[in-house]
Structure 1
Amino acid sequence: MKDKVVIISGAASGIGEATALLFGKEGAKVIVADIDIEAGKEVVKRIERAGGIASFFKVDVASAAENKSLVDFAVSTYGRLDIAVNNAGIGGEANKIVDMSLEGWHRVIDVNLHSIFYGMKYQIEAMLKTGQGSIINISSILGSVGFEGSVGYVAAKHAIVGMTRNAALEYSSQNIRINAVGPAFIDTPLLDQIDDDIKKQLISLHPIGRLGRSQEVAELILWLGNDKASFATGSYYPIDGGYLAR
């Protein structure tokens, strides 16, 4: 990772934060991208205190223009873009289809799906200029199966897997690798909103007997980002504690 330039969206907390800290530790120049300015800048400080190089960029990933500005910032600040981790997302409205509000549907699709298209559009454009790159899109185990009450989230995460595969078909021959990661339920601030009984139910869905840790997902993302994964493209990598084996 030495001197590689990486964008990580949703990097102020959870999987994104763990990934940013790990890439920084490994020598990458990290753009911590998030809508949360205070938390994002704190992640930058943690990377810098550990001897790494990082910058913060405020972004609403649901905006095409802000995704372009993010890529432009990476290139103007560090000279190029080597790796992009499209991680930002929301859980969205929890309702069955009939009860799902149109606003709730559009919001989760905007943040979780449109953002991946916008990100790749401008990231690939920058990577084509240097003739190489790696993009890791964060999907979910729910990119492979359903989950009652999460129609918008499930639809977006399924679509991310398909879009990743299609993008890999289009650009792998130009030395740009594109993969998707599918975490199961990870113990992040996103799950702090649920009560203990529901959390216990979620734990029971994982044969390994616990929720995942952000650091574990970050290690997989790191591998996909570097040259050790040079033959890995167009694939979907669940990291799920056995969830999908049930």
Structure 2
Amino acid sequence: MKRIIVTGASSGIGRATAELFAENGWRVGLIARRADALAEIAARHPNAVPLPADVTDPAAMARAFDAFGPLDVLFNNAGIFGQAGSIDEIPLEDWQQVVGVNLHGMFIAARLAFGAMRAQGGGRIINNGSLAAHVPRPGSVSYTTTKHAITGLTRSLSLDGRPYNIACGQIDIGNAETDMIAMLRKGEPQMETMDVAHAAASVLHMAGLPLDANVQFMTVMATRMPFIGRG
């Protein structure tokens, strides 16, 4: 049985992905702060293992990874949007929170996975970027900055992982129907979206490749989103 850890597994893209992997016979480690939501997922999927932890807490994350044991794939997914506005309107505390989750938290998870995979002879890390890793939407300075940084993390892990049979790729997902997008839609009622299941299926494809093949970067989005030509 293949094994994956999914961060941010309690809702949105993380939850849809975790459930799809469990349905496809993977053993799935569920990391998020909301223990009740993780228990709910695990109750429906015998292969799912709740691992409540805050991705910004290195000790809690280390305990979660140790409890899960060997893993084939990390889906490094946990992230928050933060307050919308121009840079002079964003409280420093909000900026620090977004950086803490979206960058520091993803670094912690990747570090733990990389160490485990290096010791066991290989594995795969899939980072959740965003279209914001390429172009911003208005008022998203904190989120966009962290997602650009994730592209650098992906490239560095890909390079440093080569000697150890560790593949790293990034999935940049457009507007998938999640609670985060529902919040953003309030200011953009005509927003083009896609079913979150398409994002989950794309991660499953990336994770299912043999380690001698890698999707370095994948963009999956609603066809009519104004991404190409936007800016």
Please tell me the TM-score bracket, short chain as reference: over 0.9
Residue pairs, 1:33-48, within 5 angstroms:
33-48=31-46
TM-score, length-scaled by structure 2? 0.93
Q: Are 1:56 and 2:54 an aligned pair?
A: no
Q: 1:240 aligns with which of 215, 218, 221?
A: 221
Q: Distance in 2 between matches of 1:184 and 1:195?
A: 13
Match 2:12 to one of 10, 14, 17: 14
- 1:200: how far off? 2.5
TM-aligned CA distance change 1:174 to 1:194, over 3 Å: closer
Which residue in the other structure is 2:205 paired with? 223
More helix per residue: 1
Moved over 6 A (4+): none
Q: Which residue of 2 aligns with 1:207?
A: none
* CA distance in structure 2 between the aligned counterparts of 1:45 and 1:219, rounded to whole angstroms: 22
The residue identity in structure 1 corresponding to 2:217 is Y
What letter matches 1:74 in structure 2? F
Q: Look up the match of 1:206.
A: none
Deviations 1:82-108 (A, max 9, x none): 111111111111120111110011000
Question: Which of 106, 112, 129 matches 1:139?
Answer: 129
**What pairs with 1:1-246 in structure 2 (closer than 5 Å)?**
3-48=1-46, 53-75=47-69, 80-194=70-184, 196=186, 198-203=187-192, 211-228=193-210, 230-232=212-214, 235-242=216-223, 243=225, 244-246=227-229
CA–CA distance in structure 1, aligned partners of residues 174 and 57 of structure 2: 27
| CA 1:178–1:195: 2 relative to 1, 3 Å | closer
Shift, 1:74, TM fit = 1.2
**1: CA distance between counterparts of 2:220 and 2:95?**
26
Q: Is the 8 A contact 2:31 2:52 kept in 1?
A: yes
Compute the displacement of 1:110 (Å): 0.4
Q: 1:195 to 1:245 in 2, by over 3 A?
A: closer
Gaps of 5+ in 1: 204-210
For residue 192 of structure 1, report the CA deviation from its aligned partner: 3.1
Q: Give the number of equivalent residue pairs.
A: 227
* Aligned-partner Cα distance in 1 for 2:185–2:149: 29
Deviation by residue 1:160-186 (Cα, 9 ceiling, x = unmatched)? 011101110000232111111111111
Give the Cα–Cα distance (whole angstroms) in 1 for the partners of residues 71 and 30 of structure 2. Answer: 13
Query: Secondary structure in 2 aligned to 1:200?
Result: coil
Contact 2:58 2:108 in 1 (8 A): yes
Code of the aligned partner of 1:231: A
| C-alpha distance after superposition, 1:195-219 (max 9, x if no partner) | 65x342322xxxxxxx022110111
Residue 116 of structure 2 aligns with an amino acid whose one-letter code is A
Contact 1:7-1:33 within 8 A present in 2 as well: yes
Checking the alignment, whether the CA contact within 8 Å between 2:74 and 2:113 is kept in structure 1 is: yes
1:230 Cα deviation after fit: 3.7
Residue identity (%): 30
> Could you tell me which amino acid in structure 2 is paired with residue 40 of structure 1?
L
SS of the counterpart of 2:190?
A: helix
Contact 2:12 2:196 in 1 (8 A): yes
Q: TM-score, normalised by structure 1?
A: 0.87
Gaps of 5+ in 2: none
Q: Secondary structure at the match of 1:137?
A: strand
Pairwise CA distance, 1:241 = 2.3
Q: Whole-Å Cα distance in 2 between the matches of residues 216 and 16 of structure 1?
A: 12
